[in-house]
A and B are shown apart, each in its own frame.
Chain A
Amino acid sequence: MAEAHPVGFQYVVEAKNRGARVIHVDPRFTRTSALAHTYVPMRAGADIAFLGGVINYILANEKDFREYVVAYTNASMIVGEDFQDTEDLDGLFSGFDPDLRVYDQSTWQYAGQGDVGQPEGAAHADRETASGLEQESHGPPVPADVPRDPTLQHPRCVYQILRRHYARYTPEVVERVCGVPRDQFLEVCAAWTANSGRERTTALVYSVGWTQHSVGVQYIRAGAIIQLLLGNMGRPGGGVMALRGHASIQGSTDIPTLFNLLPGYLPMPHHRQHETFRQWVDAIRHPEQQGFWANAEAYAVSLLKAYWGDAARPENDWGYGWLPRLTGDHGTYQQVLDMIDGRIKGYFLLGQNPAVGSAHGKAQRLGMANLDWLVVRDLFEIESATFWKDGPEVATGEIVPERCRTEVFLMPAASHAEKEGTFTQTQRLLQWREKALDPPGDCRSELWFFHHLGRLVRERLAGSTRPRDQGILNLTWPDEEPSGEDVLREINGFDVVTGEPVPNFTALKADGSTACGCWIYSGVFQDGVNQAARRKPGSEQDWVAREWGWAWPSDRRTLYNRASADPEGRPWSERKKYVWWDPDAGEWTGYDVPDFEKNKPPGYRPPDGATGVEAISGDDAFIMQGDGKGWLYAPSGLIDGPLPAHYEPAESTVRNPLYGRQANPTHKVYDRADSPINPRSAVYPYVFTTSRLTEHHTAGGMSRQLAYLSELQPEMFVEVSPELATERGLEHRGWAHIVTTRAAIEARVMVTDRLRPLRVDGRVVHQIWLPYHWGGQGLVTGDSANDLIGIALDPNVLIQESKAGTCDIRPGRRPTGGDLLAYVEQYRRRAENNDG
């Protein structure tokens, strides 16, 4: 965190000064470790074994916050009798289809709900379209009337299933799998549990590298299970916080740059599953389900009204037919492979540098070299704009500049200081940013670019009667360039007759009388005021600081904060008082906006047959969930299983010590010669992981061009332990090259005690660390670590496994030109023949 988020780390330092104990778990000793009380080294890719060990510690020692767990989680829910766990099937859950490598999820359901689960064909489509979790905040349909055992004794209740599932994750197993000494592991468990409960809460903070695994979603799930068991969700000082890779990554999922989502987590319609508007809306709101997604039709209609204004009418289903449809996997890696195959003709890159920043760099560059056109909008001439003339493949002869067909348009972009707008950070807080100065020369903002691009495209299409053009021609598109605040006003939503901003999303209507660009952001322009621009200093308000910026939804600073009070609505403790029921006033009150219906008393129980908001019980703290509960066990929605289980990374040097299944049985790979995966082989004997340096920014486009940053880390380097340096004859500050089945890259050697060998399953595992900031352009250049990484994806969200792989390292520089290809190929052949 200190390494990649130095500004946020000030609060850790502050907490430490106030007595907090800081524990850092990481494959390598970083700047964060330097400030931590305890540094726990571990093997990259073994996190679920570690977290599973914590879960086992909690359950075996009954350290869970029992009242919270019974009231607010699904611990007491009883699962159907056909469910079989990884314990029963040696690393598989019930319902596995070995041909499609997906699960029929029907046996995972709660008792009596077996027909609700998803058959494997649908699960396959969900993996293709990353839609298992697309409605990120509400989960899939689950009826409310589930059999329960509040004593948690029923053998098939979630609590008991959890106990059995994690019983094998003992401290000894954690030591064996992760290389973490037992006493250190127990120290972490003791600290985490001692600092949780009625009087205290613990925050789990991760950086997004945690998600970059073939079991990435289950990493986060494992963290969430611990936080739910310890009562750390919906309470002040608790939560699971994702530190984003750069500014407004949260914003780019809320108003998404993802292929499978529309604003506010509305799913992008699928051409077969959502043929009609009604099918689409019902797939979101699940008519039988409880919770706030029941109003999804109002959000959906208002979005379409924002897109198409008066042209969106009831008789044309609000223009639903003009929305693009998913036909399969359109994720970034599929797209790259489609480019290589000539199926994609054009590509826009907006502040993104996949030639350096994305896994399997060679595939990225070869794909971009096979386009008709490529638009790069960036601050500098980055590698993704120059790969055709000086990329690594030019040196090897795989790209010939004279014959490269791609026409590259480099459009100079304005930086964040040169345009106004909002950033949304990890707490879902929108903060308005003023424009400090005009961009230089021809640099322009994205808003300017897309306004004029849309305007010109619409001019070209004017008068067209082709159906496919109508969606563009009917868009509400102002003639004048809108301001950032104009856009925020539309995002907030407004009454289409009066133009008045709506106060929040509960005012949105399904009858076409409101328009709203992103329903979860509704309220950010409440009363016609830019609420995101509020900047009252923390010293002038209470500790929740609600007059700084604006948080979605409805300015709630902590989600699910109904859980900060006990089932009767009283604060769990005076110290952790946050939101509570005021019986005299008959309302929820507190420091934050209650994440609950204001006047629904704690004792409210829904009448039989109730659905939607009415079906939310007075103690259902997790109001967006189908059953109102925090999910320890996910009866559906996850493609790779209802509970996290430890699988080895797709590329690993060890056999899975826990189950017969080596890797995530459902993870996605593209089975083709140009997307190879290292086999487990002595040819690739070392584990490597990558991350960032404080001195550089992601793929380096914003830092390698600046002298003041470049001089601080001027060269690509690789960190190895003194022991590995001895084993491989590597010399400090000398050259080494690192080899995988996809590439060989070179780097200067940094021999350091910050990396240390681990003992895993009885043998020594050496880990190598690489920064991924370098490429061929800029003041300081070097090989790209991402060239080493393969395309193995998490099945739920299609994120790549870029934080754990296998490799070899050798002294000296890598071969060049055609020799480089032959060198990598020779490694590949040796690995296939298992010729260590």
Chain B
Amino acid sequence: MTGNSLYGPLDPAPDAGWTDAPPRMGFFTDTSVCIGCKACEVACKEWNLVPDDGFDLLGTSYDNTGGLSANSWRHVAFIEQRGAPHGDVLGAAAGPQFLGMPGRDLPGRDPDAPRTDFRWLMMSNVCKHCTHAGCLDVCPTGSLFRTEFGTVVVQEDICNGCGYCIPACPYGVIDQRGDDGRAWKCTLCYDRIGDGLSPACATACPTQSIQYGELSQLRERAADRVAHLHGQGVGEARLYGHDPSDGVGGDGAFFLLLDEPEVYGLPPDPIVPTRDLPAMWRRAGLAGLAMAAAVVVSFLGGRP
């Protein structure tokens, strides 16, 4: 165990007080083989009895879920990246036109080197089960807790709906349900993995885009996969959330992406808001001490 529970590399379950904790479990989501079938979304809802999230045509490619929410614990993002315009077919007159579509000019794109081929990226997003979980750190009721598998779970019978956890998540994952005010998110199927089963989404995934397992093994597998893809000429493959020295101490659910994180709607440099708590307290303490010292000095100095 490191000396600090709020940032840096850490094995979270023992840190949380679990003795003889099993290995930390997690997800490796390899977006390079995701076919956007959304079986993960459906399997998650079926197993966890998550209500539907409304019937709205969003117009964001084939994504009508919109994002992770209290009622969507897996979310498949679809990103259409435009290649060269079809000027060759239509003649010079027709150029690209802005039609109000999302998915253009995303941050992270290099405007000087536009793609020549059209790409349709798909990615199944999920709670990251951070090593340093802001939601858990700020939960006043103990509803959010660290499991023996190192995952982060909300206990629905304890949550009082205070909502502190929501701004504390650097990824915008955890969310309150409109009708009951409580916070809901992926449990990494806590009620399955304890029985040796895989989470519902990973079980349903037909292409093994979602892989469940011991985090240490998943990290090795992911590194091999990136090397393999680089060998196949897919130079843009990169991992996201795998690094224990990042702003959340590494994610329990990490990803292989084919573009910058922002393209998928992921923060490029997430930092757990509670990372700075010690410094804040230190500074607050210092300020308090300084104030006290000033008071003392003023009293001492007041009477020559």
Contact = CB atoms under 8 A, between A and B. Distances in A.
Do the two shown chains form a genuine complex with each other? yes
Contacts of B57: 714-715, 717, 733, 748
Interface in B17-73: 33, 35-39, 41-42, 45-46, 51-57, 59, 61-62, 64-65
A34 interface: yes
A708 B83 contact: no
A711 B65 contact: yes
A384 B99 CA distance: 39
A752 B36 CA distance: 17
Contacts of B53: 711
A751 interface: yes
Interface string A748-791: 10111110111100001000000000000001100000000000
Contact of B37 (A6, A714, A751, A779): A6
Contacts of A726: 94, 97
Given A7-B206, A9-B207, A35-B33, A752 B61 contact: yes
A712 interface: yes
B96 interface: yes
Interface in A770-829: 779-780
B206 A733 contact: no
B79 to A, nearest CB: 10
B122 A722 contact: no
B82 interface: yes
B198 interface: no
Contacts of A34: 35-36, 119-122
Interface of B is mostly: loop
Interface in B66-112: 80, 82-83, 86, 89-90, 94, 96-97, 99-101
Interface string A298-318: 000000000000000000000
A708 B46 contact: yes
Contact of B89 (A708, A713, A733, A764): A764
B147 interface: no
B94 A33 contact: no
A10 B55 contact: no
A448 interface: no
A780 B33 contact: no
Nearest to A694: B37
Contact of A764 (B39, B90, B122): B90
B64 A711 contact: yes
A659 interface: no
A711 B118 contact: no
Interface string B107-149: 0000000000011111000000000000000000000000000
B101 A751 contact: yes
B203 interface: no
A10 B287 CA distance: 60
Given A756-B89, A759-B89, A31 B118 contact: no
A731 B61 CA distance: 14
Contacts of A764: 89-90
A144 B80 CA distance: 57
Contacts of A31: 35-37, 120, 122
B208 interface: yes
Contact of A6 (B35, B59, B97, B120): B35
Interface string A11-39: 00100010000000000010111110001
A248 interface: no
A457 interface: no
Interface string A33-55: 11100010000000000000000
A495 interface: no
Interface in A31-85: 31-35, 39
B38 A707 contact: no
Contacts of B96: 722
A189 interface: no
A9 B206 contact: yes
Contacts of A780: 55
B83 A753 contact: yes
Contact of B99 (A13, A715, A732, A748): A732
Nearest to B100: A732
Given A10-B206, A35-B35, A695-B38, A708 B118 contact: no
Nearest to A30: B120
Contacts of A446: none
A694 B36 contact: yes
A754 B82 CA distance: 9
Q: Which of B53, B59, B82, B97 has the most CB of A within 10 A?
A: B59
Contacts of B62: 693, 713
Nearest to B83: A753
B174 to A, nearest CB: 20
Q: Which of A31, A712, A713, A756 has the most CB of B within 10 A?
A: A712
Interface string A706-738: 011111111101000111011000011100000
A771 to B, nearest CB: 11
Nearest to B72: A711
B209 to A, nearest CB: 8
A756 B86 CA distance: 7
Contacts of B100: 731-732
A2 interface: yes
B80 A754 contact: yes
Contacts of B45: 708
Q: Which of A10, A711, A731, A780 has the most CB of B within 10 A?
A: A711
Contacts of A714: 55-57, 64
A34 B81 CA distance: 11
A340 B38 CA distance: 41
B80 A732 contact: no
A711 B54 contact: yes
A711 B55 CA distance: 5
Contacts of B54: 711
Given A726-B97, A754-B80, A10 B41 contact: no
11 contacts: A13-B33, A13-B35, A29-B118, A31-B35, A32-B35, A711-B52, A711-B65, A726-B94, A752-B61, A753-B80, A780-B55
Interface of B: 33, 35-39, 41-42, 45-46, 51-57, 59, 61-62, 64-65, 80, 82-83, 86, 89-90, 94, 96-97, 99-101, 118-122, 206-208, 228
Interface of A: 2, 6-7, 9-10, 13, 17, 29, 31-35, 39, 693-695, 707-715, 717, 721-723, 725-726, 731-733, 748, 750-754, 756-759, 764, 779-780
Given A717-B57, A722-B96, A754-B118, 19 more contacts: A6-B206, A6-B207, A10-B207, A13-B35, A17-B228, A31-B120, A34-B36, A34-B121, A34-B122, A694-B37, A694-B38, A707-B51, A708-B41, A711-B52, A712-B64, A732-B100, A750-B59, A751-B101, A764-B89
9 smallest A-B Cβ distances: which pairs? A714-B55, A707-B52, A34-B120, A6-B37, A733-B59, A715-B57, A2-B35, A13-B207, A10-B206
